[in-house]
Amino acid sequence: MIPLSGDLTKAKGVKSESVDSIDVTKGTSTLKRGFAHMLKNGVVMDVTTVEQAQIAEEAGAVSVMVLDKLPSDVRKAGGVARTASIRIIQDIMDSVTIPVMAKCRIGHVYEAKVLAEANVDMVDESEVLTPADENHHIWKWDFTTPFVNGARSLAEALRRIEEGAAMIRTKGEPGTGNVAEAVLHIKKVNDELRTIKSIYDSGDKQGLVSIAREFKVSFDLVEETAKIGRLPVVNFAAGGIATPADAAYLMSLGCDGIFVGSGIFKAEDAMERARATVLATTFWEDADAVKEAQKMINEKQSILGLDVKNLELRMQDRGGSA
Partner 1 sequence: MSELDIGILALQGDVAENFMSTMMAMNELGIDGSVSQVKTPDQISAVDGLIVPGGESTMMGQLSMVNGAMNALKEKIESGMPVLGICAGMILLAKNSKDRVVGSTKQPLLDVLDVEIERNSFGRQKDSFEAEVSLDAMDIPSFQGVFIRAPSVVKTGSGVETLGKFNEKIIAVKQGNILATSFHPELTRDVSVHKQFVKMVKESKS
Site string for partner 1, 25-54 (x = CB under 8 A): xxxx-xx--xx-xxxxxx------------
Cβ atoms 128, 174 nearer than 8 A: yes
Among 20, 288, 307, 312, binds partner 1 (CB under 8 A): 20
Among 146, 177, 319, 320, binds partner 1 (CB under 8 A): 146
Known catalytic residue at 103: yes
C-alpha–C-alpha distance, residues 15 and 27, integer Å: 6
Beta pairing, strands 15-19 & 22-26: antiparallel
Q: Report the C-alpha gap between 204 and 277 in whole angstroms.
A: 43
CB of 7 to partner 1, least distance (A): 13
Measured from the CB atom, is 22 or 310 closer to partner 1?
A: 22
17 vs 307 by CB, closer to partner 1: 17
Dihedral angle of Cα 121, 123, 128, 132, to the nearest 10 degrees: 150
Enumerate residues 6+ apart whose C-beta is below 8 A from 22: none
- Residue 95 phi/psi, 5-degree rounding, is -120, -5
Kindly tell me which of 5 and 176 has the beta carbon lying closer to partner 1: 5
Least Cα distance to 254 among 279, 229, 273, 278 occurs for 229
Catalytic residue among 32, 69, 103, 140: 103
In angstroms, what is the minimal distance from the CB of 72 to partner 1?
Answer: 26
Identify the three-state secondary structure at position 116.
helix
Q: Closest approach of Cβ 209 to partner 1, in Å?
A: 30
Burial of 207 (0-12, 13-18, 19+ CB in 10 A): middle
Contact pattern for partner 1 over residues 188 through 227, marking x by CB under 8 A: ----------------------------------------
DSSP class of 22:
E
In whole angstroms, the minimum distance from the beta carbon of 210 to partner 1 comes to 31
Check residue 310 for interaction with partner 1 (CB under 8 A).
no
Which range, of 114-122, 169-177, 184-192, 261-269, touches partner 1 by CB under 8 A?
A: 114-122
Sheet holding 234-236, edge to edge: 234-236, 167-170, 147-151, 122-126, 100-105, 63-66, 43-47, 258-260
Binding mask 261-300 for partner 1 (x = CB under 8 A): -----------------xx--xx-----------------
Least separation, in Å, of the C-beta of 235 and partner 1? 13
* Residue 264 neighbours by CB under 8 Å, 6+ apart: 45, 46, 56, 270, 273, 274, 277
Query: Pick from 8, 113, 139, 144: which binds partner 1 (CB under 8 A)?
Result: 144
Q: How many residues belong to the site for partner 1 (CB under 8 A)?
A: 46
Q: Which of 170, 176, 143 is nearest to 157 (CA)?
A: 170
Provide the binding-site residues for partner 1, judged by CB under 8 A. Answer: 1-2, 19-20, 22-28, 30-31, 34-35, 37-42, 57-58, 60-63, 93-99, 116, 119-122, 144-146, 278-279, 282-283
Catalytic residues: 103
